[in-house]
Amino acid sequence: MTPPPGQIDSVLSSTRADFRLQAKASGESVDHADTRWVDVHRHGKMRSGRTISQQINEHSTIKFTLDLGDGHQSESVILPMTGRTGRQRLTLCLSSQVGCALGCGFCETAAMGFIRNLTVAEVLDQWHVAKFRFDSPISNIVFMGMGEPMENLDTVLQAIRILTDRSGPAIAPSRVAVSTVGRVAGIDRYRDFMTHEDFRRVRLAVSVNAPNAEIRRELMPITRSDSMPELHQAMSDWIASGGKPILIEYVLIPGVNDAVDHPAQLARWLEGIDCRINVIPYNPRRNSPWPAPTESSVDVFIDALRSEGCRVHRRKTLGRSVMAACGQLGNEHVRRKVPLRVPRA
């Protein structure tokens, strides 16, 4: 059943409580509205009019593109992840924007520039498609797709409220993570959200990708406005407010951030912060100035971090050959007019 787009989007973008209030204001039975909301979010009984314009599979990884109706598209990835107990879970990587304004040199999405924010309905529809059209039992949500979530935070927080509703998608808050390149004001707002009793266990991931400010400024322009000391303070405040350990993302780029002394520098900068470092072997964007690192260089870097006393995880590379891996989402036909600035190798 495909109702008018505005009708399904109203359900997709509303919490259950808000949808009840809307129903009451329009004279609809609250019980009937509640049933409609649960039918959409729990049972997938209605579909939006957005079409899957592309689906690419690499083994168990699925990248899919949704047409948004205005000539633009969102990209999402379903990732099979194996936990420490050996149990496999499906993680859905959600986009929050079309393109991105922040210009990180290693990122395919950054090459698009910023086009627009996604709406709550467009974010939720990514989950809806993964869950009901692909029949994927999604257990983990990560806002690590196209865009900077902290630049569209109202939408992201509303999506989390809906995704974690036990009568709807029922994703455990502890299995929801928001990743940022280091937008300090956004981290502070997300921390305030986290202190609410219902969302105490949501996760924060910070894309650091450099052992010092000089390299980070070259690789990630946001460092010029949100400095590494300010970022460190925001992460410290997250932990002090009762937040769960932070996931530090470190994209390992040959000749840029993998020198012999870089693990020790990174470890010193992270002192005092309860965190785990997720080392992500670089996934080359289109026309990349750098190759992917060798497995031996990744192992050497991880061993050096561990010798510094860091907790380290090596991100398994999934979807690289189909441009579905970390940092590879984006429309190759949409490119910013000003070339990305990349640090010298």
CA distance 20 to 172: 23
CA distances (Å), origin 45, targets 4, 94, 163, 198, 300: 14, 22, 16, 27, 50
CA distances (Å), origin 132, targets 39, 48, 103, 137, 281: 12, 12, 34, 9, 32
Burial tier of 309 (Cβ tally within 10 Å: 0-12, 13-18, 19+): exposed
DSSP states along 66-122: EE-SSS-EEEEEEEEEE-TTS-EEEEEE---EEE-SS--TT-TGGGG-EEEEPPHHH
SS3 content of the chain, % helix, strand, coil (to 5): 35, 20, 45
Helix (H), strand (E) at residue 203: strand 203-207
Q: Which residues, 6 or more positions from 190, have their beta carbon under 8 angstroms from its beta carbon?
A: 150, 153, 157, 178, 180, 202, 204
Report which of 253, 237, 248, 229 is spatially closest to residue 344, judged by C-alpha positions.
Answer: 253
Tokens coding 223: 């460092």
Active site residues: 326
Contact between residue 95 and residue 112 where contact means Cβ atoms under 8 Å apart: no
